[in-house]
Amino acid sequence: TEFDLPFIETFPTRSGPDDDCVLELSFADPQRVAALSAVLNGDLAEVRKYVYPGKSKWHSFYIDLTGHTKPGKQQLALTVEWKTAP
């Protein structure tokens, strides 16, 4: 997948240390995801899991872009390993 990233927040524009630019990777049924990896602009990118507060069964995944890329054209490759149905 290729997309344009118009900007990345930097220290002068960030409102706090927890305000990073992230790319959410959401799935209709995230419980079926057994493994997920990402390559951003040729470099392996850490994919993290986000569990929604108060809903432990609901989650999505994300990549923190702050400090890992620059504005402009981005290339993202995802590899998803699905759990097999019982």
Res 75 pLDDT > 90: yes
SS3 letters across the chain = CEEEECCCCCHHHCCCCCCCCEEEECCCCHHHEEEEEEEECCEEECCEEEECCCCCCCEEEEEECCCCCCCEEEEEEEEEEECCCC
Res 12 pLDDT > 60: no
pLDDT band at 27 (very low <50, low <70, confident <90, very high): very high
Res 48 pLDDT > 90: yes
Of all residues in the chain, the percent with pLDDT exceeding 90 is: 51
- The whole-number average pLDDT for the span 22-32 is 91
Task: Give the residue with greater pLDDT, 57 vs 38.
Answer: 38
